[in-house]
Amino acid sequence: MNLPEPVVVFVLAVLQGVAEFLPISSSGHLVVVGELLGSTGGAGLNVVLHFGTLVSIVVFYRRRILELLKSDRRVIPLLVVGTIPAGAIGVFIKKSHEYGAPRIDWILENSLLAGFMLVMTGYMLLLLNRLKGGEDEYQSIGVGRALLIGIAQAVALLPGISRSGATIVTGTACGMTRLSAATWSFLLAIPAIGGAMLLELLDIVQGETAIQTAPQ
């Protein structure tokens, strides 16, 4: 399906905006819909989408972020701990070929894998519906739970696995209230999405990824 470039950009941007705040994997839907449209949007659009998502999360959770900077500063290192797994694996996937390993970044745009993982996300949401959750707020979690939720976020690098869904399910299973698990999930998204945006920008600057968004 060869649509004009502005139409492709508009469709993918709307899809990202709708799917990012729902536990349905925006990345998976972007890959599948991009395949149908004949374009994944290109690195330039990915940067714009990441930036838009980051701004919307910061605006929505601005009060929580201010609390982190004032009274909840003890959880800032836990956010760092929770970001390490996704950061390390994300860099490995994007940069492994620079160290003589085979390229594996193709998995991030594989529509067949994304379709299969979207089914896995559906099962994960069914599991969430059965979890009662605990009574713990995110301010009370320790390094162990922060790392475990971070590992769940790293698994969600696979297209089709919902990042918010994986982290909320894990947080709820670890004894957090659903609301607190959701809040922690989106606070954890800030460094994760920011890091992904920086990787895309580095690829563009280094000339490794094309900037165009037109269908190929």
The pair of structure tokens assigned to 194 is 């920011």
Neighbours of 28 (CB within 10 A): 25
pLDDT at 213 over 60: no
pTM value is 0.86
* Residues of the chain above pLDDT 70, percent: 91
| 203-211 average pLDDT score | 61
pLDDT tens digit sequence for 98-121 = 777 788 888 888 889 999 999 999
pLDDT for residue 44: 65
- Going by C-alpha positions, the residue among 208, 211, 6, 207 that lies closest to residue 94 is 208
SS3 (DSSP) at 110:
coil
pLDDT for residue 1: 62
